[in-house]
Amino acid sequence: MSTPTDPRAYPALYRLASLASRNGDPQQALEEMMDVLMSTFKADAGSIALLNPTTTKLETEVQRGMPDNQRFALKPGHGITGWSALNARSILVPDVSTVSRYIAVRPTARCEMAAPMNDGDVVIGVIDLESDRVGGFTSVDLALLERLALEATLVVRQLWLTRGLQAKARQLSTLLVAGQSLVAKLETHQLFTTLTRDTRAMLQGRACLLYLHDTAAGTLRCAAIDSSPALPAPEGDLPIDACLAATALHTKKQMAFADIQSADFQNVPDLPADRSLHSALLTPLLHEGEVFGVLAVFLDRIHRFDDDEKRACMTLASLGAVALQNARLYARVFQSEETLRKNEQLTTLGLLAAEIAHEIRNPLTVLKLLHGGLGLDLTPDDPRTTDLRVINEKLDQLEGIVLRVLQFGRTPAALHSRWSLADIIQDTLVLIRQKLAQARVRVHFTPPAVSPIVEAHKGQLQQVLLNLLFNAMDAMPDGGAITLSLREETHDAILDVADTGTGIPDAIRERVFDSFLSGRPGGTGLGLAIARRILESHHGSIAVIATGPTGTTMRITLPKK
């Protein structure tokens, strides 16, 4: 250790210690450390090498006076610097020509000293200084270098800790923002773009790619890429067995690679064609045991991914997998809703045809009765005999058509089943939950402890509910609330559907269930008429309980079973 009288000690220690508070960049701090050491010892050359835990080599981080700014990677034990690292001791060589382990880098170097950067019992690096004079450094210099190396280690450790805390804060911030963003993405392209962008930003990577897994075809396809500067994405379907991502797919675990530029990774189809990429972290998109794909992050440097980085990336990938599953489920919901709407149109058409047939049947019956009662007595050779026969046949034909339409419009009793009315309501709300969210409409429905059971055609009852819910949304263009209240009476199940809309216009309030009566542009005027017909076929009813500027309440009544 240096003595307190060494005039160089305190200024150098102060300059080193101040780096921890005024410099948040470890690399920049190492550069300034090197300048302090060079000036303190009047050295002609020097370097600070840190131990890479992945390669277990001492890699030069900063240097001064080396030819062409050369940087080295030494194994512990090699050279004077490596000896200091291996033995965790400082060393002074007054004349390097007398030491066989010396590795000549500068022809003019004559004296060298090195001190390990000891963090407890672990060597994290070595400070090495050279002089062009034999005996250019003394034992006093070595003692001072040991003291400065200890201070430099404390500064580096504190800067690494600060940098690690900053990285964790960035990762947590990214996870929070990305989590909120991902769950709101229902369009897969937006989801993939957000996932790759946020993952690359979180790990400060050079590029991030998302590969989707086609289980049936056994291939991978690049669904999204985010890079800076832009990189071309691998095109087409890639065979899994030839891809690096297969390691994460098959094991369902994260896989990290220190340097993908080595010979082992040549001609791998899922790696971007960029020689500047080195370290890679591959994370499977895993949800309930199913692997949807792989999220691959690439860095433009050799890097050892720590546990925090891996956990953060795994969390983000899991959020992405859940969001992808949600997007797929929503797509199915939209498809189901579209199918339901088409079924509603077909039902509307069928009931309209039945209503028309019913209206035609009455005058048709009158025509048949009048025709049969004419009592025309025509001779067989009278040409009108044939006309009367044809008229009679066509009247019979029309009656047959009307009967077939009416029979088709009726719901066969075989299609009726016993249903929990609360379950029908909840299933219907699930079908249109996205539309309700888009319309900014809140739905309040608390199922009763015991739901009334009805014998009904589930699809048709859902058509009635959908019609009422869509009408309620149309009455609340700026959003609002719908409240469904279900209760039982002695023989009936009662469902009230109340909205906070503008109410039914006075002009149509009394005729709201008439066919072709509509109070909104583009309406067919058939919805409530068909709803009434469906409920009547179920021996139930529908009525307007209340309507006004504060909203409308419709009541459905069905017999219990």
Rounding to the nearest 10 degrees, give the CA dihedral for residues 409, 410, 416, 421: 70
- Tell me which residue of 281, 244, 298 sits closest to 266, measured CA to CA: 244
Strand duo 441-445 + 480-488: pairing: parallel
Residue 485 pLDDT: 95
In the block, residue with structure tokens 């709201």: 512
The H or E element that residue 220 is part of is strand 219-227
* 157: phi then psi, degrees, rounded to nearest 5: -65, -40
Q: Which residues contact 341 (CB under 8 A, 6 or more apart)?
A: none
Euclidean distance between CA atoms 459 and 451, whole angstroms: 18
Burial 521-554 (b: 16+ CB within 10 A, else e): eeeebbbbbbbbbbbebbebebebeebeeebbbb
Amino acid at 129: L
pLDDT per residue, tens digit, the chain (561 aa), is: 444 568 888 888 888 888 877 656 788 888 899 999 999 999 999 999 988 876 788 888 889 988 766 667 888 888 999 999 999 999 999 999 998 888 888 889 999 999 999 988 889 899 999 999 999 999 999 999 999 999 999 888 887 777 766 666 666 666 666 666 665 555 777 888 888 888 888 888 899 999 998 888 888 999 899 998 888 888 888 988 889 888 888 888 999 888 888 878 888 888 888 888 989 999 998 877 788 889 999 998 888 787 888 888 888 888 878 777 777 766 666 666 666 666 666 666 666 676 676 667 667 776 766 666 565 666 777 777 777 777 777 777 777 777 766 665 555 554 678 899 999 999 888 878 878 888 899 999 999 999 999 998 888 888 889 889 988 998 899 999 999 999 999 889 999 999 999 888 887 777 787 754 444 544 444 678 878 888 888 899 999 999 999 999 999 999 988
Domains of the chain in sequence order:
9-165 (3.30.450.40), 169-331 (3.30.450.40), 334-415 (1.10.287), 417-559 (3.30.565.10)
> Read out DSSP for 43-62?
-SEEEEEEEETTTTEEEEEE
E-only strand ranges, 288-423: 290-298, 417-420
In the block, residue with structure tokens 């291996």: 86
Residue 522, by phi and psi: left (phi above 0), alpha (psi -120 to 50) or beta? left
Does this model's pTM top 0.75? My answer is no
- Tell me which residue of 361, 370, 447 sits closest to 403, measured CA to CA: 361
Euclidean distance between CA atoms 432 and 470, whole angstroms: 9
Helix intervals (H) in 475-561: 527-537
